[in-house]
Copies of this chain bind each other. A is one copy, B any other.
Amino acid sequence: MDEKSMRWEDGFIAVDWGTTNRRAYLIDKSGKCTDEFEDHKGVLSVAAGGFPDAVEEIRQRLADKPLLLAGMVGSNRGWKEAPYVPCPAGLDELARALVWVSEREAIVPGLSFLKNDRADVMRGEEVQLLGAVASGSLDPDGLVCHPGTHNKWATLLKGKISEFRTVMTGELFSLLKDHSILSDLLQGKVEANDIFKDAARYSIFNESLPAELFGVRARVLLGQAKKEDAASYASGLLIGADVRVGLSYPTGANITVIGRPKLTRLYAAAITEAQRTVVELGGKQSFLAGIHEIAKRI
């Protein structure tokens, strides 16, 4: 055991640093999270050359410890680019490909997937997915999705991520809500109600999403649907089409959904409409389990 790893064993700070948010956790010797904070200083809000100060601020708020960073902080818009590790990849492959800024700061790389004409990338979700496997919450040969701005469907094989696919569901919903002709109809609350479930089931069993979306407006104009139901209806159509993509992968008994409860609840409701069993897991616990496993490998 060299000096570097000895220092990491005294505890460290784990950072899940995304495009618009950062979440920092102080991890003690035993692997327990003893302090944490979240703010909106995502990668896009840090000016060029601003990362050393942004990192120093994290240490001042939590402790003067080594940092293990994951997410978009390792992208070409982040602190230092950490090249994608190709699938199949597990915790060992991630740990071996850590990119060191100094010997007190390491960045976890993202994953890439290439097959025939398909190309895909992820950054940040891999720590949560592999953490869920390591903590025994996720079948090491299972199918999992991680909803967010860009939902990721991933298949696991012997505990490694073997294949994955990104669906732009969250971003499409935001674009439609903020900028489209459906905007005034989509300001309401999205709920996993019957309207949502019916729309999800329709999209799971029928394709043609870009044709169905205009129907959100036409149904209200023609008195076939209530304006206040439109957000749940549109969300159901989008998430249903997303689940349809996920169901093209082979699955075991359960499909696992990892992320923020507000989103995992919607995906769980849609997946249930496809007659599949769902397990919901919290993103934070999965991240902490994964980042701790990587730290142990340093």
Binding site for B on A (CB under 8 A): 84, 112, 114, 117-121, 149-150, 165-169, 171-172, 175-176, 178-181, 202, 207-211, 213-215, 217-219, 221-222, 224-225, 238, 241-242, 244-245, 248
Contacts of A84 in B (CB 8 A): 221-222
Contact A166 B211 (CB under 8 A): yes
Closest to A19 in B: B181
Contact between B210 and A168, CB atoms less than 8 A apart: yes
**5 new A-B pairs (CB below 8 Å) besides A167-B214, A171-B180, A171-B181?**
A84-B222, A117-B224, A121-B218, A150-B181, A166-B214
On whether the beta carbons of B210 and A238 are closer than 8 Å, the reply is yes
- Whole-angstrom CA separation of A214 from B120 in the bound complex: 8
Chain B residue, CB-CB nearest to A207: B207
Bound-state CA distance A146–B172 (Å) is: 24
Interchain CB contact under 8 A, A210 and B245: yes
B208 adjacent to A118 (CB under 8 Å): no
A215-B175 in contact (CB<8A): no
B165 contacts A211, CB within 8 Å?
yes
Contact, CB under 8 Å: A211 / B178: no
Looking across the interface, which residue of chain B has its beta carbon closest to that of A172? B210
Contacts of A242 in B (CB 8 A): 210-211
Q: Is A114 within 8 A of B224, CB to CB? A: yes
The 6 closest A-B pairs by CB, nearest first: A166-B214, A175-B175, A119-B218, A119-B219, A207-B207, A167-B211
- Which residue of B211, B225, B241 is within 8 Å of A210 (Cβ)? B241
Instruction: Give the CA-CA distance A167 to B212 in the complex, in Å.
Output: 8
Cβ-closest chain B residue relative to A165: B211
Cα(A47)–Cα(B295), bound, Å: 62
Minimum CB–CB distance for A154 against chain B, Å: 13
Residues of B within 8 A of A214 (CB): 120, 150, 166-168
Which single residue of chain B is at the shortest CB-CB distance from A217? B121
For A208, list chain B residues within 8 Å (CB).
244-245, 248
Question: Looking across the interface, which residue of chain B has its beta carbon closest to that of A221?
Answer: B121
Chain B residues, CB < 8 A from A218: 112, 119-121, 166
Name 23 interchain pairs, CB-CB below 8 A, sorted by A: A112-B222, A119-B221, A119-B222, A119-B224, A119-B225, A120-B214, A120-B218, A121-B218, A166-B214, A166-B218, A167-B210, A167-B211, A167-B214, A168-B210, A168-B213, A168-B214, A171-B180, A175-B176, A207-B244, A209-B210, A210-B238, A210-B242, A211-B245
